């Protein structure tokens, strides 16, 4: 490690993702603390602070010099904790509907250059009509030109992106799983709920599927009996089921166990509880799955005892 990693080293992609997640976490924390604010997109008002691809990052913030100064301080902190160097002389500040002389003044104060739209980012045009996409029925046909050749470890990721884009269909209807991004809970909670629906939570069953050696220790840490799956931990285990039933009892709702967590989420969203209380009812789902996971981790890492009643109370 002292001599660094070769370009095609299998650890490269892991380290890139790990370091990138550090910066993402710092920017999300800054937004939670009100230090900076990203751009709001979509009808649900989702805030986007940054986009990342490999070692390229584009950061969005309000057109205020104090916000930009805070972002630069965050980047300097990132340099210190990661050991990576950010070349501010190669960074650019782009103003959207902001006078050019104002942008230039801001750029001088934060020691970077300016750029105007239209421009390109990762080989894609910004601020112009997107002529890099064609239509075939309800599918998009993409023709993306990269500004450089991909590294070996990037090829698999790029192929995965191509497969995902090829399967994308236009629809006026909002799929049930996209209702996770309802801007009802903090971003990290909604992100957790999204990962939960896609089976990306690190329960023992999922770790075992990824060939992570667990030996015989795949039983649920709470009951020491059943295999620790997402369905078991969040729904079927009688102690976590008590938490859901506490919510249903408080709302006077009759509830039965669904076949999987995705069906559970869809049924919870569709439950008729009155328009005035609908948002609070939906928020209860996020609060419950997040608290179950948090309490379960306290059992694992802090040696605490599981308490269904306390788990329910913590949500309040």
**Predicted local confidence at residue 193, as pLDDT:** 92
**Predicted local confidence at residue 208, as pLDDT:** 81
Q: Which residues pair with 120 in a beta bridge?
A: 125
d(CA 241, CA 207): 23
**Predicted local confidence at residue 172, as pLDDT:** 46
**Predicted local confidence at residue 95, as pLDDT:** 84
Task: Please tell me whether the overall predicted TM-score, pTM, comes out greater than 0.85 for this model.
Answer: no
Q: Which residues pair with 39 in a beta bridge?
A: 48
**CA distances for 18 relative to 14, 54, 58, 198, 242, angstroms:** 6, 11, 18, 21, 36
**Predicted local confidence at residue 93, as pLDDT:** 85
User: In sequence order, what E strands does 94-180 have?
Assistant: 113-114, 119-121, 124-126, 133-136, 139-142
Residues 6+ apart with CB under 8 A from 145: 123, 124, 132
Reported as a single tens digit per residue, the pLDDT across 131-159 is 544 555 555 666 677 777 777 777 777 77
* C-alpha 203 chain-centroid distance: 18
**Nearest in space to 298 (alpha carbons), one of 286, 283, 314, 284:** 314
* C-alpha 207 chain-centroid distance: 20
CB 222 within 8 A of CB 241: no
* Residue ranges covered by each domain of the chain: 1-116, 122-170, 176-315
User: In sequence order, what E strands does the chain have?
Assistant: 39-41, 46-48, 50-53, 56-59, 92-93, 113-114, 119-121, 124-126, 133-136, 139-142
**Nearest in space to 199 (alpha carbons), one of 190, 207, 187:** 207
**Predicted local confidence at residue 154, as pLDDT:** 78
**Predicted local confidence at residue 57, as pLDDT:** 82
**Nearest in space to 101 (alpha carbons), one of 116, 81, 90, 87:** 116
**Predicted local confidence at residue 14, as pLDDT:** 61
- Which residues of the chain fall below pLDDT 70? 1-16, 54, 117-143, 165-177, 213-216, 275-276, 312-316
Q: What tokens appear for 274 in the block?
A: 């009155």
Q: What tokens appear for 177 in the block?
A: 């799983």
d(CA 78, CA 72): 10
């Amino acid at each position: 490690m002292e001599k660094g990693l070769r370009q095609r080293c299998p650890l490269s992609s892991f380290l890139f993702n790990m370091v990138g997640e550090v910066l993402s976490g710092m920017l999300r924390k800054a937004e939670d603390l009100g230090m900076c604010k990203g751009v709001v997109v979509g009808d649900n008002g989702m805030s986007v602070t940054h986009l990342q691809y490999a070692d390229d990052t584009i950061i969005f913030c309000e057109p205020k010099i104090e916000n930009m100064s805070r972002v630069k301080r965050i980047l300097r902190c990132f340099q210190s904790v990661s050991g990576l160097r950010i070349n501010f002389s190669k960074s650019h500040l782009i103003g959207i509907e902001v006078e050019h002389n104002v942008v230039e003044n801001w750029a001088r104060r934060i020691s970077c250059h300016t750029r105007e739209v239209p421009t390109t980012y990762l080989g894609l045009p910004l601020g112009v009509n997107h002529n890099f996409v064609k239509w075939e029925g309800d599918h998009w046909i993409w023709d993306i030109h990269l500004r450089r050749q991909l590294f070996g470890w990037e090829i698999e990721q790029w192929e995965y992106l191509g497969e995902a884009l090829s399967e994308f269909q236009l629809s006026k209807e909002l799929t049930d799983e996209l209702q996770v991004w309802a801007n009802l809970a903090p971003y990290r909670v909604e992100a957790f709920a999204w990962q939960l629906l896609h089976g990306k939570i690190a329960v023992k069953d999922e770790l075992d599927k990824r060939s992570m050696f667990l030996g015989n220790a795949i039983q649920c840490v709470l009951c020491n009996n059943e295999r620790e799956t997402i369905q078991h931990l969040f729904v079927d285990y009688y102690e976590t089921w008590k938490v859901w039933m506490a919510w249903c009892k408080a709302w006077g709702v009759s509830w039965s166990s669904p076949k999987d967590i995705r069906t559970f989420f869809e049924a919870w969203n569709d439950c008729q509880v009155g328009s005035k209380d609908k948002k609070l009812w939906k928020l209860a789902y996020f609060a419950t799955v997040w608290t179950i996971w948090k309490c379960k981790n306290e059992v694992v890492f802090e040696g605490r005892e599981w308490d269904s009643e306390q788990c329910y109370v913590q949500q309040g």
